[in-house]
């Protein structure tokens, strides 16, 4: 953080306030959030930090220290258009805040992150939430975490063009050290679920395959789910989306669905059931049972939802053969990025060494491996001189 403060002082000749928002790992519950389902994410100890000061005009000056790139724009522009780069996450949040009636001020913003970009750890939500927190705080606007998450989700849906659910933004706002968060994405209720890091460690394995979700298969999957829910609603009363379909009812009527739509629905409906079971197992300390659900989840994402890829499957297969691993699965939207592995603490370092070597031998690519801890949600750092 000292590097960020010094760089900001050199560029803007002022002492900044520092705001941060974490990345996340989704323990289980993939592609269920936009179906009003259940998810079980945890914030991790990698974050996006924004140094910020007020300006006396209506400009937002934004600069990414990580990417060595910057631009400026007027905060009052009527119809901003996305540029198709990282700045859209900042501009989108500013735009939605203004549309919602929040009176913002001009600001200087400098951004750095240690969340790997495109790795499925929600670097996009982290920059959105950190931006929203910085802009509202500078303008002395009080905003509740749930409202901030909702605005940041709108920015990604409406400005960036990726029809994500609210999971990433909500865990970035509400993350807790030592816990995952069971989120009901229909009514936004949350329940803290303890993660005992003396008995299990979160290890993330980056395949180094970048994913791009906006305008891609992610939006296609969402449309397929909506189609499936529409068909099932003709046979099952009260179905608004796949959240409302039980595994038993799906089995009764799945023959009414086209093949691809049937697969997508099967994943979402079974994954919702896995999330609720997994949360209970985690609370009970049944890590072996939790690991078995991770395996089922990955196979469902690979075979029914078809959002895995060769590299993710390789990484999962290699992990499952190593000692001390409770389970492995892809995490995030898919098509690349990271796998989430749950390992015994005493086996974590051995696992990192072995999986790195095995993946390199299998793919010719040297992966990045991160042993992570659960972390606090978004907030402001106290800068000490």
DSSP string, 190-233: EEEEE--TTT-EEEEEE-------TTSHHHHHHHHHHHHHHHHT
- Determine the average pLDDT of the residues in 8-14: 94
Provide the pLDDT for residue 214. Answer: 42
Rg (CA), the chain: 21
Instruction: Classify residue 378 by burial, with Cβ atoms within 10 Å: 0-12, 13-18, 19+.
Output: buried
List the alpha helices (DSSP H) in 233-309. 247-253, 259-284, 287-303
Provide the pLDDT for residue 16. Answer: 97
Question: In the structure encoding, which two tokens stand for residue 359, read together?
Answer: 């993946």
In this model, does residue 333 exceed pLDDT 90?
no
- Any idea how long the chain is? 385
For the chain, the structural domain boundaries read 2-195, 201-372
For strands 38-54 and 179-184, give the pairing.
Answer: antiparallel
Q: pLDDT tens for residues 262-319?
A: 999 999 999 999 999 999 999 999 999 999 999 999 999 999 999 999 999 999 999 9
- Predicted TM-score of the model (pTM): 0.93
- Which CATH class, in words, describes the domain spanning 2-195? alpha beta
CATH superfamily, domain at 201-372:
GHMP kinase, C-terminal domain (3.30.70.890)
Same fold? 2-195, 201-372: no
Does residue 42 sit in helix, strand or coil?
strand
Q: Are 94 and 88 in contact (CB under 8 A)?
A: no
Instruction: Classify residue 140 by burial, with Cβ atoms within 10 Å: 0-12, 13-18, 19+.
Output: exposed
Q: pLDDT tens for residues 85-115?
A: 999 999 999 999 999 999 999 999 999 999 9
In this model, does residue 13 exceed pLDDT 50?
yes
Q: pLDDT tens for residues 32-78?
A: 999 999 999 999 999 999 999 999 999 999 999 999 999 999 998 88
Q: Are 113 and 127 in contact (CB under 8 A)?
A: yes
Question: In the structure encoding, which two tokens stand for residue 61, read together?
Answer: 């000056």
Helix H or strand E encompassing 53: strand 38-54
- The catalytic site residues sit at 168
The CA–CA distances, whole Å, from 67 to 52, 85, 114, 169 equal: 17, 11, 11, 22
Name the residue among 317, 231, 329, 323 with its Cα closest to residue 275.
Answer: 329
CA distance 278 to 35: 19
CA distance 131 to 111: 9
CA distance 144 to 53: 22
Percent of the chain scoring above 70 in pLDDT: 98
Reading phi first (left if > 0) and then psi (alpha if -120 to 50, else beta), residue 178 is in left
- Determine the average pLDDT of the residues in 14-42: 97
Q: Are 127 and 90 in contact (CB under 8 A)?
A: yes
CA distance 2 to 8: 10
Question: In the structure encoding, which two tokens stand for residue 146, read together?
Answer: 């749930």
Q: Are 182 and 278 in contact (CB under 8 A)?
A: no
Question: In the structure encoding, which two tokens stand for residue 324, read together?
Answer: 């001390």
Count of beta carbons in the 10 Å neighbourhood of residue 158 = 15
Q: Which residues contact residue 228 at a Cβ distance below 8 angstroms, ignoring those fewer than 6 apart?
A: 242, 257, 261, 262, 264, 265
Percent of the chain scoring above 90 in pLDDT: 90
Q: Are 307 and 337 in contact (CB under 8 A)?
A: no
Name the maximum alpha-carbon separation found in the chain. Answer: 67
């Amino acid at each position: 953080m000292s590097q960020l403060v010094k760089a900001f002082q050199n560029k803007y000749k002022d002492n900044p306030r520092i705001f941060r928002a974490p990345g996340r790992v989704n323990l289980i519950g993939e592609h269920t959030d936009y179906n009003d389902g259940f998810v079980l994410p945890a914030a991790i100890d990698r974050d996006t930090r924004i140094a910020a000061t007020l300006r006396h005009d209506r400009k937002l000056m934004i600069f990414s220290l990580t990417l060595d790139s910057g631009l400026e724009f007027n905060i009052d522009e009527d119809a901003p258009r996305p540029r198709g780069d990282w700045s859209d996450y900042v501009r989108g949040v500013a735009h939605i805040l203004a549309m919602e009636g929040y009176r913002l001020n001009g600001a200087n913003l400098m951004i750095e992150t240690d969340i790997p970009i495109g790795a499925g750890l929600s670097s996009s939500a982290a920059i959105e939430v950190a931006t929203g927190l910085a802009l509202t705080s500078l303008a002395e606007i009080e905003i509740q975490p749930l409202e901030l998450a909702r605005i940041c989700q709108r920015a990604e849906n409406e400005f960036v063009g990726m029809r994500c659910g609210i999971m990433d933004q909500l865990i970035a706002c509400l993350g807790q050290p030592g816990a995952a968060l069971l989120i009901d994405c229909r009514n936004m209720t949350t329940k803290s679920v303890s993660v005992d890091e003396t008995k299990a460690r979160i290890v993330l394995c980056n395949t180094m395959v970048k994913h791009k979700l906006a305008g891609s298969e992610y939006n296609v999957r969402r449309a397929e789910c909506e189609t499936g829910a529409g068909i099932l609603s003709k046979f099952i009363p009260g179905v608004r989306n796949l959240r409302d379909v039980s595994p038993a009812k799906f089995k009764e009527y799945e023959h009414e669905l086209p093949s691809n739509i049937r697969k997508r629905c099967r994943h979402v409906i079974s994954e919702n059931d896995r999330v609720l079971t997994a949360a209970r197992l985690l609370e009970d300390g049944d890590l072996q049972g939790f690991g078995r659900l991770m395996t089922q989840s990955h196979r469902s994402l690979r075979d029914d939802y078809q959002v895995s890829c060769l590299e993710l499957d390789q990484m999962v297969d290699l992990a499952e053969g190593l000692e001390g691993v409770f389970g492995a699965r892809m995490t995030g939207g898919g098509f690349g990025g990271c796998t989430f592995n749950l390992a015994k603490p005493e086996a974590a370092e051995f696992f990192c060494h072995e999986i790195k070597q095995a993946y390199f031998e299998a793919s010719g690519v040297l992966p990045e491996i991160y042993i992570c801890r659960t972390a606090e949600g978004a907030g402001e750092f106290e800068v000490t001189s």
